[in-house]
């Protein structure tokens, strides 16, 4: 059976069983599963075992099973997948277990007022030892599954004010803050069940959903076997571009899942749409899986969807040789600081927040400027040589590790380009620009920022610098009294709509670029990243592109459109340029699904390289392209880019 590291395409099924799921498996036939596996040809399947409701959909000996199970669907899935040499993983809800919350309320997390959580189990209770660990062992030993995808984990973890948790905190000596104590308790929870299961089933592979991703962007200390998560159904354009880049530098086997449907209204995505989502994931070296709704009585909710899954699988497999486990070649890195992430967080872990939202928007803006972009996690920056990055961007953050700041400044001094984004980040690096805190003022504004005659509407903190700048910016607000008050554009105190074009007499800084040692430091005193995440405009995209180009002129790839994403990789000594059509995935707003391509015709590409190659090959078609080599650039043209093409440069 394939190990997870050898798997490239999978299908995830679950239905989060509950007390209304009567007659589980009564219509399930082995032949249906067999036909599906032979048609779609997945490397692995994940199927329902226990959802957030806590009900097990198989006849468990140690949990709480759904009433009226007709057939042991898990045994059937295992039998057929084993025959077809397809790995089988359990979808198992970890921390979240509503039925155990009812049966054993003393196992629940408590809030400050003593109210028990209706779902979340406490890390200081007997839940892990009595339910979670015995069931995982049951799946590994009795059912001989290949592993488990443990759902409802880091994003569901929260502070616990139950008596056992408070007592444990007292005994710890309160060395850590209450939040950090509970963060470590979550890590201990995962490592504990990993250790206990491995004692009896060392080959059983386990992932804790979203651990060591953008929802927990830290150095891995828990020995999970692989990293995985499921992308929010209709936010995939930003989420896959950002999420893949957080995971790719964790040096672990990984994959991401796209939902084939959305919540509630189960409208289904086309093969085109899911292949577009897959392209970002596989180009970064990961594996791809598709989530489909499982039918608890039979097999899958919509069996007519099987040809769509087959098409997606074929798209992925055609690129596996060139993409799977490929290494990313450095160009631009967008930093994530653990301190910057955790200092602003209300919950223990999870998505969103100033720092990661800014990083997400900046990542997308860099990609739309045709820079091959990575997420540079803080611990990677401290432990590795970062001199290979042509530019490093620091998103908005309120705190940063002192040693990380010094490493980044040393990088710039040695010749790198360091670009600081945001009002609070600007203050953290103000002294490098010759400013003290007394020279800075930060205010929250809704305003129209005019930079080089381009109008940017901003709604965020803005740091006012006194002095000259390369970009002169002015703020148009609802009053001429300065940056003092955040005003409502829809009326209210002094507010109006549309924004009046009132400008201040004194210009404020839109961005600055200054020499720093052998390199450059640029500063943008408002959160361009978070703004771009929520309100994409070509003005903001171009502004970032202009700033990067002022700091770093040797752009690796140039094209004749902003609608192409570049991912530079190498694998087994082979040199690749991934080209992804951004135009397809940019469908937004009320459009939830789409099935027509917007191909890019006559795509012109210039690739910086110090040596003329012997061949330029278009993959997966294996078509040799004509090219020229001028002024250190390999120049070629692609007749049509549909979703994702790969260029191999051969010496």
Does pLDDT of 464 surpass 50?
A: yes
End-to-end CA distance of the chain: 37
For residues 86 and 44, the answer to whether their CB atoms sit within 8 Å is: yes
Question: Please, are residues 429 and 412 in contact by the beta-carbon 8 Å criterion?
Answer: no
CA distance 261 to 242: 21
What was the pLDDT predicted at 489? 42
How much helix, strand and coil, in percent to the nearest 5, is found in the chain?
Answer: 30, 30, 40
Of the CA atoms within 13 Å of residue 252, those in its CB half-sphere come to: 23
pLDDT at 260 over 50: yes
Residue 6, Ramachandran bin (φ over 0: left; ψ between -120 and 50: alpha; else beta) = alpha
pLDDT value for 324: 98
* Residues 314, 278: Cα–Cα separation, whole Å: 12
Q: What pLDDT is recorded for position 579?
A: 98
The two most distant CA atoms of the chain are separated, in Å, by 78
Q: Are residues 23 and 157 in the same domain?
A: yes
Which pair of tokens denotes residue 70?
């007709």
pLDDT tens digit sequence for 534-548: 888 888 999 999 999
H runs (alpha helix) in 284-351:
306-317, 320-323, 338-342
Q: In whole angstroms, what is the distance from residue 541 CA to residue 537 CA? A: 6
Percentage, residues of the chain above pLDDT 90: 77
User: Does residue 467 surpass a pLDDT of 70?
Assistant: no
Which carries the bigger pLDDT value, residue 626 or residue 263?
626
Could you tell me if 187 and 307 lie in one domain? yes
Given this model, what pLDDT does residue 445 score?
65
Q: Return all residues near 551 (Cβ < 8 A) that are at least 6 apart.
A: 391, 417, 418, 419, 513, 519, 520, 522
DSSP state, residue 155: G
**Model confidence pLDDT, tens digit, residues 302-347:** 999 999 999 999 999 999 999 999 999 999 999 999 999 999 999 9
| Average predicted confidence (pLDDT) for the chain | 91
Predicted confidence (pLDDT) at residue 359 exceeds the cutoff of 70: yes
Please give the C-alpha separations between residue 271 and each of 276, 308, 563, 586, 597, in angstroms, as whole numbers: 8, 5, 21, 16, 11
Report which DSSP code applies to 225.
S
Which helix (H) or strand (E) segment holds residue 335: the answer is strand 332-336
pLDDT band (50, 70, 90) for residue 53: very high
- Residues in CB range of 296: below 8 A, 6 or more apart: 15, 17, 21, 23, 24, 25, 48, 57, 73
Quick one: 563 and 545 in the same domain?
A: no
pLDDT band at 481 (very low <50, low <70, confident <90, very high): very low
Tens of pLDDT, residues 483-508: 443 444 444 444 445 544 444 445 66
HSE, CB side, 13 Å, CA atoms: give it for residue 314: 11
Please report which confidence band the pLDDT of residue 51 belongs to, taking 50, 70 and 90 as the band edges.
Answer: very high
Q: Is 481 exposed, middle or buried (0-12, 13-18, 19+ CB in 10 A)?
A: exposed
Rounded to whole angstroms, how far apart are CA atoms 409 and 544?
Answer: 20
Residue range 510-517: mean pLDDT, rounded: 89
Does 190 share its domain with 244?
A: yes
pLDDT of 349 strictly over 50: yes
Burial class (CB in 10 A: 0-12, 13-18, 19+), 335: buried
Domain of residue 642: give its range. 557-650
Single residue among 325, 357, 392 that ends a domain in this structure? 325
pLDDT at 492: 41
Residue where the block lists tokens 């205010």: 443
What average pLDDT does range 55-72 have in this prediction? 93
Are 305 and 260 within 8 A, CB to CB? yes
Predicted confidence (pLDDT) per residue in 91-123, tens digit: 999 999 999 999 999 999 999 999 999 999 999
Q: Choose the final residue of a domain: 551, 572, 590.
A: 551
What pTM was computed for the model?
0.94
Residue 651 has pLDDT above 60, yes or no: yes
pLDDT in tens, 374-406: 999 999 999 999 999 999 999 999 999 999 999
**Contact between residue 393 and residue 421 where contact means Cβ atoms under 8 Å apart:** yes
Whether 532 and 599 map to the same domain: the answer is: no
User: Dihedral through CA 233, CA 234, CA 237, CA 238, nearest 10?
Assistant: -80
Tell whether the model's pLDDT for residue 482 goes beyond 50. no
Q: What CATH number does the domain containing 493 carry?
A: 3.40.50.880
Output the pLDDT for position 73: 96
Q: Residue 248: give its domain's CATH number.
A: 3.20.20.80
pLDDT of residue 198: 98
Q: Are residues 483 and 458 in the same domain?
A: yes
* Domains contained in the chain, number: 3
Residues 370 and 277 in one domain: no
CATH number at residue 627: 2.60.40.1180
Query: What are 410-463's pLDDT values in tens digits?
Result: 999 999 999 999 999 999 998 888 787 667 777 776 666 777 777 777 777 888
Rounded CA-CA distance 235/258 in Å is 10
Q: Are residues 88 and 65 in the same domain?
A: yes
Per-residue confidence (pLDDT) for residue 546, from 0 to 100: 92
Greater model confidence, 539 or 47:
47
**Do residues 565 and 526 both lie within one domain?**
no
| Residues 139 and 206 placed together within one structural domain of the fold | yes
Choose the final residue of a domain: 517, 535, 551: 551
Q: Report residue 148 CA to chain centroid gap.
A: 21
Whether residue 188 is predicted with pLDDT greater than 90 in this model: the reply is yes
Residue 341 and residue 230 share a domain: no
**At 77, is the secondary structure helix, strand, or coil?**
helix
Q: Are residues 345 and 320 in the same domain?
A: no
pLDDT tens per residue across span 547-587? 999 998 889 999 999 999 999 999 999 999 999 999 887 66
């Amino acid at each position: 059976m394939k190990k997870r590291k050898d798997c490239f395409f999978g299908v995830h099924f679950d239905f989060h069983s509950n007390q209304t799921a009567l007659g589980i498996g009564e219509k399930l036939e082995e032949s249906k599963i067999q036909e599906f596996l032979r048609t779609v040809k997945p490397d692995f399947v994940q199927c329902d075992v226990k959802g957030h409701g806590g009900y097990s959909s198989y006849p468990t000996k140690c949990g709480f099973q759904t009433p009226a199970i007709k057939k042991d669907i898990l045994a059937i899935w295992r039998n057929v997948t084993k025959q077809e040499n397809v790995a089988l993983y359990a979808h198992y809800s970890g921390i979240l277990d509503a039925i155990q919350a009812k049966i054993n309320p003393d196992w629940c997390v408590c809030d400050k007022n003593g109210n028990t959580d209706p779902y979340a189990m406490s890390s200081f209770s007997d839940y892990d030892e009595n339910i979670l660990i015995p069931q995982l062992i049951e799946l590994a030993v009795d059912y001989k599954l290949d592993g488990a995808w443990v759902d409802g984990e880091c994003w569901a973890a929260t502070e616990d004010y139950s008596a056992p948790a408070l007592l444990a905190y007292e005994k710890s000596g309160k060395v850590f803050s209450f939040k950090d104590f509970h963060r470590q308790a979550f890590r201990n929870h995962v490592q504990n069940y990993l250790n206990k299961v491995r004692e009896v089933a060392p080959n059983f592979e386990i992932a804790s959903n979203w651990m060591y991703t953008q929802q927990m962007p830290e150095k891995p200390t828990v020995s999970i076997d692989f990293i995985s998560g499921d992308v929010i159904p209709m936010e995939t354009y930003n989420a896959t571009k950002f999420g893949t880049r957080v995971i790719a530098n964790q040096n672990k086997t990984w994959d991401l899942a796209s939902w084939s449907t959305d919540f509630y209204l189960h409208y289904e995505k086309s093969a085109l749409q899911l292949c577009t989502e897959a392209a970002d994931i596989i180009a970064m070296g990961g594996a791809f899986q598709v989530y489909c709704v499982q039918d608890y009585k039979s097999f899958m909710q919509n069996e007519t969807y099987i040809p769509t899954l087959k098409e997606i699988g074929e798209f992925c497999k055609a690129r596996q040789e060139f993409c799977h486990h490929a290494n990313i070649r450095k160009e631009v890195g967008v930093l994530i600081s653990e301190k910057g992430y955790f200092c602003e967080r209300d919950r223990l872990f999870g998505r969103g927040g100033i720092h990661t939202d800014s990083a997400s928007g900046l990542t997308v803006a860099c990609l739309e400027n045709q820079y091959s972009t990575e997420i540079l996690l803080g611990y990677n920056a401290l432990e590795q040589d970062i001199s290979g990055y042509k530019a490093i961007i620091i998103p908005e953050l309120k705190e940063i590790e002192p040693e990380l700041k010094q490493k980044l400044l040393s990088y710039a001094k040695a010749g790198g380009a360091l670009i600081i984004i945001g009002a609070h980040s600007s203050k953290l690096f103000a002294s490098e620009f010759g400013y003290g805190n007394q020279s800075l003022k930060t205010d929250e504004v809704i305003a129209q920022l005019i930079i080089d005659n381009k109008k940017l509407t901003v709604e965020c903190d803005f740091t006012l610098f006194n002095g000259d700048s390369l970009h002169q910016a002015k703020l148009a607000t609802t009053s001429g009294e300065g940056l003092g008050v955040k005003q409502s554009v829809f009326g209210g105190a002094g507010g109006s709509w549309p924004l009046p074009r009132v400008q201040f007499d004194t210009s404020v800084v839109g961005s600055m670029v200054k020499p720093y040692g052998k390199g450059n430091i640029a500063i943008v005193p408002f959160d361009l990243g978070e703004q771009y995440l929520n309100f994409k405009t070509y003005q903001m995209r171009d502004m970032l592109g202009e700033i990067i180009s002022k700091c770093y002129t040797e752009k690796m790839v140039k094209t004749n459109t902003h609608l192409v994403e570049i991912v530079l990789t190498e694998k087994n000594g082979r040199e690749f340029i991934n080209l992804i059509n951004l135009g397809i995935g940019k469908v937004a707003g009320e459009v939830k699904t789409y099935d027509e391509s917007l191909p890019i015709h006559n795509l012109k590409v210039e690739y910086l390289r110090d040596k003329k190659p012997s061949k330029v090959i278009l993959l997966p078609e294996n078509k040799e392209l004509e090219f020229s080599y001028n002024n250190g650039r390999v120049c070629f043209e692609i007749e049509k880019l549909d979703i994702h093409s790969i260029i191999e440069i051969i010496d």
